[in-house]
Structures are given as structure tokens and as C-alpha cells.
Structure 1
């Protein structure tokens, strides 16, 4: 993520770094590994809202960090209650400026307020790797590799529309300003929809 003169980037060793855009020198570096020693990657692009940076690691969940110091303010871990050692890979974080929307492999999609409270969770059907969710007006569009694509009410998580091309969708949905939605199926077919 780029925020004015700063760049936020995650790495496969579980570290989130704030870099100065002009020089590339680090301002701070924070580990998001939690207690894990495996699957610690910070793969999803961080999101900046106000004075916080929101990022995720595969094993640690979603974190809120102080933008100036890199100190962790809160963490929401993701795990399967039946298998607590099984954590989900986060495909991406989207925000409307008040809520974070996070798709997690095999676990579903979450809405989390900026204070770290889970507002709602919608479980996955067949699961699979998640793509980055997209916020458009009052809608949230997200997909999981084996589940297909969902269009949901972003306030409640209620599914309003569902599209299954028969083989899932691994690509992130793309929405234009005028409400055109594009998504690529796992067979390489590009689908277009009108959200209006």
C-alpha cells in the first residue's frame, strides 16, 4: 500500500515494513508471525485507514498497526474451531473506510470493524483459496477458488447473488465505477455482469 510518502509491504518471513518512498529506507519493521513457525507470509496488500495500517499473515490473522510506530494495536486470528491448528490464508483486505472485509481460505469471509470486532462471518461452501474482495457502494463482491463468486450486502454479509461457473473462480473480481463487474473463471472464461 502507498500512503503519501510511505510504502507498506509484507514479506514471506512474516514481516510488515514501512518504507520511505523517496529513499526506500525502512522506517519500521514488525513481525506478524504470531506464535507460528510455518505459513507466516504477509501476502495480502496492506490497507491504510487514518492512522492505522491493516495487514494479515497466513498464520496470524488480521492485524491493526500504528502507522507511525508499527506497534500492533490488535489482532483477529482466523482458525477452524474444529481444527485450531488450521489457519486460513487471507486473499486480501478491502475496506469502505469503516469496516475491513477479509476473505479467508476455507473459512469464509469476515467483516471486522476498525476496533477489531468481528461484525459478521459467512462460512465457505467448498472453500479454496480466496481472492481479494471488492467493495462497491453497499455491496461486497468476493470469491473462493472452489465456491464461485458472491455478491453480498456489505452491512450484513447476506448473499444477494451467487455465480458458480462450474469450476470456481480464483481471480479477484474487478468492478468499474459505473458498476460493471468482471471475473475470470478457473477455466479462463471472462464473465461480465452489471451491478446496477
Structure 2
């Protein structure tokens, strides 16, 4: 694990440095410049409140290729019935706040610290982070946010207040941008995203999409 120099924005090259657990570095700060540079290298911050900032580049990497999205029969019916409507970047701050505060089974607390929350809000204001909002009967019931890297979208977190809301938002997004994004980075495994078609790939393969 590599200690970052607080006076310069740099990381060890993840294509040459292969820690077994994917933990690349620690320290530094959550400035917009450092976070954006990290994502360009395939690295992202992930740590618990009270910890030093930890930077990761896991191998293998959990991703979804848009052409491989899986839409179940029940989800097709959800879209056919028009249960949800969708917007983008209409209430980014509300989306990240819900992602921060939503209850998650088998998880204590949140990794989205107040400092992390404010950092991604600043990235959004610079046009580098985007949100998808899912609505039902005029109420925000789901959504997610992440960073737009051009041909790669790096998903950060999602939330749902009603069944199928986050799934619907994700499917909507993948279908809309299937020809823009070569891959959607899901970072680490979740059963929820695996059910939608996400799978593991080699870290070096993922890094090649960022070049």
C-alpha cells in the first residue's frame, strides 16, 4: 500500500502495481483534481468514516458491458406499464444524500462521508459527475450517480425506496447510452448488479478502456 504525497497529485501505476486486495494507496485528499486524476487511472476512493482515505483498483474488476444488460420478464412489464419516469441531473444532491442515508441490509453505516459527498457535488457542478433520478407519481423513489469518463461511466452508488426503482433507472440509463459507453464500471461485486448482467473482467482489460 503506497502512501500518497499530500503536496502532489500522483498514484502508483495500477497496470504495474498489483496488490492482492486491490488497495493501491492511502492518504492524500478528496480534492476534485485528485479524484478526477484517480478515476482516469482506474482508481477510486473507498473508506469508512474515521479511516484515512483509501484508494482502490481491484483485480478482477466488476463491470457491465451495455450489450450484455439483462432485462427480466418482470422488468419488461415494469417498463411497459410505465410505472416509473426518469430524469438526469435534476437533483444530484438529493440523490447522493439518499445514497448516503438509505438503509442497506448487512451494512452498518455508510462509506459516503460528508467530505466524500461534498467532493462529488463539486464534481457534478463541474459537469464531471451525473445522476439519474427515478420518479413515481411525482416522488423521487430511486436513482444513482457516478462519473462520466467519456467512453466509460463509473457508477458510484444507487438507492431505491420502492421495489425495482434502482433496477429500472439502471436499465433506462444503459439502454439510452449503450452506444456512448463502452463499459460501465461497477467497481466491486454485488448480487443486484450481477442479476442485470455485470461480470468480472481482468483489471488490465478494464484499464484499456480508459486509454
Q: TM-score of the superposition, structure 1-length normalised?
A: 0.28
User: Which structure is higher in RCO with an 8 Å CA cutoff and minimum separation 6?
Assistant: 2
Q: TM-score of the superposition, structure 2-length normalised?
A: 0.26
Q: Which has the higher strand share?
A: 1
